[in-house]
Amino acid sequence: MQVGERDGRDLMKTYLAYVYKDPNSSFGVSFPDLPGCYGTGESYDEAIENARESLRQYAEALNDDGKDMPKPRTHGELASDATEAIELDKAAFVIEVPLITAGVRRRINVSMDNQIIAAIDRFVQLAGTTRSAFLAELAFERIQESMRLVRAAPKARRKRASSKLVPA
């Protein structure tokens, strides 16, 4: 199995979204491949953040129902679809929103300075979590910050992740 695949399904997909703005109206964002998945907001940033949250909830709801996310279409595929070409013309612009779905956990070997490891171990002990969970969350936060990813987790992981990793 290649990295990025689970049972033949991609773990990361990038969905295209149309951003709309008419005079005297809020911003709107819709995903052409995901009916009912949209975001709105008084500002561009608020609409994008609401659309990202909607994408996460959409993916989690499908996962909870045992369904896979639809395959996202490319810019070219959307432009060659007559209906979507009309929507593309109406949109102010198109954005890409990467989505990561939960995969199978895998053991890796990481080398670090022993003092950093000691500090991590003390932190996770106080936070009531594990070294692996802490490092995975820290890595995701950094990637999310850089790539503006959305992550959808299975229901079991959502319950465990509901508490932040902050020591008392």
H, E, C per residue of 118-158: HHHHHHHHHHCCCHHHHHHHHHHHHHHHHHCCEEECCHHHH
Choose between 58 and 24: higher pLDDT.
Answer: 58
Question: Given this model, what pLDDT does residue 105 score?
Answer: 81
Q: What is the mean pLDDT of residues 61-69?
A: 90
- The architecture (CATH level 2) of 5-106+147-159 comes to 2-Layer Sandwich (3.30)
Q: Which of 63-72, 102-111, 123-132 has the lowest mean pLDDT?
A: 102-111
Confidence of residue 54 (pLDDT cuts 50, 70, 90): very high
Q: What is the mean pLDDT of residues 57-80?
A: 92
Confidence of residue 7 (pLDDT cuts 50, 70, 90): very low
Pairwise CA distance, residues 165 & 168, whole Å: 10
Q: Which of 22-26, 39-43, 153-157 has the lowest mean pLDDT?
A: 153-157
Pairwise CA distance, residues 36 & 167, whole Å: 39
> If you average pLDDT over every residue of the chain, what do you get?
84
Question: Given this model, what pLDDT does residue 159 score?
Answer: 57
Question: Given this model, what pLDDT does residue 163 score?
Answer: 46
Residue 27 has pLDDT above 90, yes or no: yes
Pairwise CA distance, residues 125 & 123, whole Å: 5
